[in-house]
Chains A and B, each alone.
Chain A
Amino acid sequence: RKEVEQDPGPFNVPEGATVAFNCTYSNSASQSFFWYRQDCRKEPKLLMSVYSSGNEDGRFTAQLNRASQYISLLIRDSKLSDSATYLCVVNRVYNQGGKLIFGQGTELSVKP
């Protein structure tokens, strides 16, 4: 079982739709959480950090449930420019170091 699992998609949605991505992680020692966005043949870019209380940035809402080891990303009123692969990322700290663990990504395609 992968340490971070996501639905690979692809999700094909029309403009204006609401879409939700789910992610689960297996290591309870995970301590910080992120959603990254990766466009085709580009590097991953930080979309938002995920906090226990949930957080919102414009059309994007992230939620974290530590008890269930579950992370979600909600995109409202989706735009064509939201088309990308969304990566769930977990930061596991141990000893004096840390390791970013990436999910395989969920592909989103927003159509006119």
Chain B
Amino acid sequence: NAGVTQTPKFQVLKTGQSMTLQCAQDMNHNSMYWYRQDPGMGLRLIYYSASEGTTDKGEVPNGYNVSRLNKREFSLRLESAAPSQTSVYFCASVRGPGNTIYFGEGSWLTVV
């Protein structure tokens, strides 16, 4: 009963380093999302994938790239990390429009 699984849970990066956050869901959902949450704020959409093979920008896409590897997996890549990208990152998935969205447990990223 895994649901949405994100890795890693915690990561510290130096400015300029790159890394990839991995997300996988086992619910056969069509749509997947990456959000970031800064302290004391709501969740802002970075990128989403409405269906396998498609990706679209959200509110705050700059500095990120995504890959919808297959129906299960949606990765988020930081090519050159900046301190402004210090945040908690949440992956989510949903069967389709008009259905319940499910979230992973979050990935805490610090860029120093």
Chain B associates with chain A = no
- B residues bordering A, Cβ < 8 Å? none
- A residues bordering B, Cβ < 8 Å? none
